[in-house]
């Protein structure tokens, strides 16, 4: 429920909010464990932990700089309509 005096939302039924929070925490923990187990089973990872961090770093960094495709903007529309 939104409280205009406080300018924030209030949780009135704290038991249901607690149950939802616990369920989200359990699901996130399970997904984290599945991801880490999958990374440890990766064939290119040796016995050192640094290769896991290298693999994670490669996942979040682009291999090539992002380039935007050429846009057909308002200039094309104006030249087509006037010509």
Predicted TM-score (pTM) of this structure? 0.44
Domains held by the chain: number = 1
Range of the domain at 21: 1-57
Q: What tens digit of pLDDT does each residue of 14-53 get?
A: 777 788 889 999 999 999 999 888 877 766 655 555 677 7
Asked whether residue 68 is assigned to any structural domain, the reply reads no
Q: What tens digit of pLDDT does each residue of 58-68 get?
A: 888 877 666 66
Asked whether residue 31 is assigned to any structural domain, the reply reads yes
Distance CA(25)–CA(27), nearest Å, equals 6
Asked whether residue 46 is assigned to any structural domain, the reply reads yes
Q: What angle do CA 22, 24, 27 make, to 5 degrees?
A: 110
| Phi, psi at 13, each rounded to 5° | -100, 90
Q: Please, how many CA atoms are within 13 Å of residue 36, restricted to the half-sphere of its CB? A: 7
């Amino acid at each position: 429920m939104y409280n205009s005096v406080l300018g924030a939302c209030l949780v009135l039924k704290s038991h249901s909010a607690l149950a939802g929070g616990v369920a989200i925490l359990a699901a996130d923990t399970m997904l984290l464990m599945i991801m880490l187990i999958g990374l440890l089973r990766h064939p290119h990872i040796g016995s050192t932990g640094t290769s896991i961090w290298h693999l994670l770093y490669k996942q979040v960094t682009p291999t090539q700089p992002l380039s935007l495709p050429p846009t057909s903007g308002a200039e094309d529309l104006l030249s087509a309509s006037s010509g």
